[in-house]
Amino acid sequence: MPLEILQIVPNLPPAINGLGDYAYLLAKQLGAGHDIQSHFLVCDSSGNRERELSGFKVHQLEAQQPDELARKLAMGEMPSIVLLHYVGYGYEKRGCPFWLLRGLESWKRVNADRQLLIMFHELYAFGPPWRSSFWASPAHRWLAARLARLADRCITNLGRYAKWLGARAERHKNVIDTIPVFSNVGEMTYSSPLNSRSPNMVIFGGARWVTELLGRYRNETLRCCRELCIQEIITIGSPAGTVTGKMPIPVTECGFLNTDKVAEIISSSQVGLMNYFPGYLAKSGVFAAYSALGVLPLLPRFSPPGCDGCIAGKHYLFLDQVATSVNGDRLQQVVNNAREWYQTHNLARTADIYAGLLKDCTLVC
């Protein structure tokens, strides 16, 4: 008999949602490689009825209320092992899903053998005082800490997140698994070398990234294109509007694409440009895609420069480093390093870690 678990998510494909993609791909790998069958509970309150998703049973939460969540989780057909994929903003527009915490507390209170694993994809938001995230941040932190103390096991994607959680949930200190994210748009067992690819630069990240990279960082981006003999920039995601028309190099805006097409474009391009803080790259699905599909990852210069074994100049380059690294072998080595780093937490290895944690839960249930 397969082990059955319930994964709680804000939404699932075909909705555009990184958490849903992550959970769905993880569920497929757990089933194929470990005989662990996932059910899903979708919490977006969209009103969709229960439905099938490629063989998975999907339940829809009727209302974002503690009692409704506890009732749904206690249904006879529901597994007793729950994996929550947590990002506050996924479950409440201000990032403060108090109902989620209260519902899980009620569910756990009825039977201590019920097991809760939480994957903390995010902990809390922050920003300037004129942004709502500034004022909501204390509530975000309180919720994350309470959830960590409620969980039987915690997982996250950044070492700094694991340290933060361990400091607030003492029993998890030093035992929180840290797993950088895998690519949601596929992986390749073999990656063609840069010199055999089209001289294209891809920006996978939507209008805001494109506007910043081709606006604020326009000069650095153009200099990089000249150094690398890039002939076309390809954007994937929401169109950026007029900024792309002001570039002296052709820019093709592809809009939203299915995952196969995204993987095809990235895996045939030479360079992948992104606008992300280097200290958080381990939680970036875009960086995971670039690393998995063998493009040269480039970023504007930010600090902090290091993240969970991912090092500037070794696994990616800043735009201003390209001029000193145009040697083809040197660039290829950066690509190879990024791929090697990625393989330590690719989809199969990530599923191995989850499977070990989930099967440990059966010793308690």
**pLDDT tens digit sequence for 141-158:** 999 999 999 999 999 999
Q: Where residue 61 sits, what CATH number does that domain have?
A: 3.40.50.2000
Encode pLDDT of 59-110 as tens digits. 999 899 999 999 999 998 899 999 999 999 999 989 999 999 999 999 999 8
Neighbouring CB atoms inside 10 A of 275's CB total 18
Residue 187 included in any domain: no
Residue 355 placed within a domain: yes
Residues 338 and 356 in one domain: no
Backbone φ and ψ of 118, nearest 5°: -125, 125
pLDDT band at 53 (very low <50, low <70, confident <90, very high): confident
Q: Cα separation of 258 and 238, whole Å?
A: 13
167/198 same-domain check:
no
157 with 207, same domain: the answer is: no
Q: Give the tens place of pLDDT for each residue, 178-220.
A: 999 999 999 998 889 999 999 999 999 888 888 999 989 999 9
Q: Which residues constitute the domain of residue 210?
A: 194-343
Whether 189 is covered by a domain: the verdict is no
Report whether pLDDT(13) > 90: no
Residues 110 and 202 in one domain: no
Query: Per-residue pLDDT for 364 more than 70?
Result: no
CA torsion sign for 312, 304, 342, 163 is positive
| Residue 153 is assigned to a structural domain of this protein | yes
Name residues whose C-beta falls within 8 Å of residue 64's C-beta, 6 or more positions apart in sequence: 43, 45, 91, 92, 97, 99, 100
Question: Are 260 and 320 found together in one domain?
Answer: yes
Query: What's the Cα-to-Cα distance from 202 to each of 106, 143, 275, rounded to whole Å?
Result: 47, 37, 12
Residues 241 and 175 in one domain: no
Q: 16-30, 130-144, 280-294, 311-325: lowest mean pLDDT where?
A: 130-144
- Looking at the fold, whether 339 and 350 belong to one and the same domain comes out as no
Residue 122 within a domain: yes
For residue 188, is it within any domain?
no
Q: Are 251 and 328 members of one domain?
A: yes
The tally of domains found in the chain comes to 2
**100 and 128 both lie in a single domain:** yes
Same domain, 8 and 154: yes
CA nearest 83: which of 114, 53, 57? 114
Give the pLDDT of residue 305: 64
Q: Say if 184 falls within a structural domain.
A: no
Examine residue 62 and state whether it is found in any structural domain, yes or no. yes
Whether residue 354 sits in one domain with residue 307: no
pLDDT at 227 over 60: yes
Contact 176, 156 (CB under 8 A): yes
Residues 213 and 85 both lie in one domain: no
Top pLDDT among 302 and 169 is at 169
